[in-house]
Amino acid sequence: MSDVQDHSEFSGDELLAAEYALGVLAGPDRATAERRMARDHGFAALVAAWEQRLAPWAAEITEVAPPPDLWDRIVAELPAARAQGGGFWQSLAFWRGFAIAGALATACLGALLYFGAVTQQPPLIATVESGGRPLFVATIDPKRHTIAVVPAAYIPDPTRIPELWLIGADGKPRAVGPLRADRTVTIALPPALADEAKSNVALAVSLEPPGAPTDNGPTGPVIGQGILTNL
Amino acid sequence: MDLEANRKLLAAALARIGTGDRNALQTVYRLTSAKLFAVCLRILGERSAAEDALQEVYMTVWRKAAQFNAGLASPMTWLIAIARNRAIDFARARGSSRNTEPIEVAAELADDAPMADTTMQTAQDQARLHQCLGGLAERERTALRGAFFDGNTYEELAERMKVPLGTMKSWIRRAMLKLKSCLEQ
């Protein structure tokens, strides 16, 4: 073709990067570019540079609000996405592990300091977990009849509230109170619940819609469980 | 909200998504979904396909946020690229882009609308790109528009502009080369 010298300044890589960023490739050519991006940082950087050059053009596109329920669809798909494998998930798991370890260390240290200072009676502790992932750490002060619950790896659900339950000797869940993802919640246990809060008793956390009644057990999914043990 | 505050907020939220924070994803969604939905809608042409694509866009954001490098790209550039690519994936999967109508090059002249959105891109970057696009031949600019906004492939563009595929490839390549050289000045 007569245009060869016109674009001879583009290396093969740069041309492929430009074509991918512009979006003109299809089929195997597009797949080739995506494979290169995944394993070749230099090539990925070429694509990113082209995306940066072209992105200001998108300012011409007038915003259109998506339907209100689209966010719910995305939230509904998140846990399934987390279960997928792949290189990225290993790195995410690594970082999440870091966050969990930090939160757990903080929770345990806090419990030790708190109870070491204020009580001689041994506190009860339970890690509410799901598949080995600690979601919350609960500590009960038997003297004060309070339960303090520290969030660990719980990922907040914007539409629902985590509710703590204590499974009574009759096997029925008793509502303890709502928890928070962002800070420790301390709840005073009513006498009936305080009497039941003993070693080897199970705790559970479910996700409840705001304002859901708690008289008859969880209405939403139970996301984790733990057993109270003496610290 | 000004551009710099927006950029910082988005970059911080992307970093938090990398640790599994759903609230951070919601922050990104609130700030960007109207723009990214419009990008998908422009490429796919109908709402239900654009909704499916947008869902995939935020799932991709959720999975890849840890890879976002604020030193290499602005958050909005990164997000727009994801939106365009997911929408293009949908378009390729169903066999064609929305807009494959023939293009009259002359009719595109009036279509170079002034850019107005300064909440997500700097006015300076927009002006610079616009100026460099203005330096291209009309047919080159028209072809690039079809690719960027409508998600057209080389083949679709060749068909829309009624030129052989080889000619379209050389137009696009030459235009991209000129664009890069102009933007680097």
B63 — contact with chain A (CB < 8 Å)?
yes
The verdict on a CB contact (< 8 Å) between B33 and A65 is: yes
Residue B130 host element (H or E): helix B123-134
Are the beta carbons of B154 and A29 closer than 8 angstroms?
A: no
> Within an 8 Å CB–CB cutoff, is residue B115 touching chain A?
yes
Chain B touched by A58 (CB under 8 Å):
yes
Residues in B closer than 8 angstroms to A62, CB to CB, are 38
Place of tokens 């290189």: A87
pLDDT reading at B18 higher than 60: yes
Tell me what pLDDT residue A118 has.
45
Q: Helix A70-83 vs helix B47-64: angle between axes, to the nearest 10 degrees?
A: 40
* Inter-chain touch A65–B54, beta carbons under 8 Å: no
**Do A57 and B129 make contact, defined as CB atoms within 8 angstroms?**
yes
The pLDDT value given to residue A132: 74
> Is some CB atom of chain A closer than 8 A to the CB atom of B78?
yes
Name the minimum distance, in Å, from the CA of B34 to any CA of chain A.
4
Ranges in chain A, pLDDT < 70: 1-8, 79-120
Residue ranges of the alpha helices (H) in chain A?
12-22, 27-39, 41-54, 70-83, 87-118, 191-196
Q: What is the CA radius of gyration of chain B?
A: 17
**Structure confidence by residue, pLDDT tens digits, A33-50:** 999 998 999 999 999 999
> Please, what sign has the CA dihedral across residues A19, B51, B76, B100?
positive
Closest chain A residue to B118, measured at CA? A59
For residue B176, what pLDDT is reported? 96
The predicted-structure confidence for A48-69, as pLDDT tens digits, reads as follows 999 999 999 998 899 999 999 9
Nearest CB partner across the interface for B26, out of A10, A18, A71: A71
Q: pTM here?
A: 0.61
Give the sign of the dihedral formed by CA B140, CA B153, CA B85, CA B111. Answer: positive
**Chain A touched by B32 (CB under 8 Å):** no
pLDDT at A79: 57
Contact list in A for residue B19 (CB cut-off 8 A) is 92, 95-96, 99
Provide the ipTM: 0.90
Write down the pLDDT at residue B86.
96
Q: Report chain B residues whose CB lies below 8 A from the CB of A153.
A: 20
Residue burial A92-118, b: 16+ Cβ < 10 Å; e: rest: beeebeeebeebbeebbeebeebbeee
Q: What pLDDT is stored for residue A103 in this prediction?
A: 60
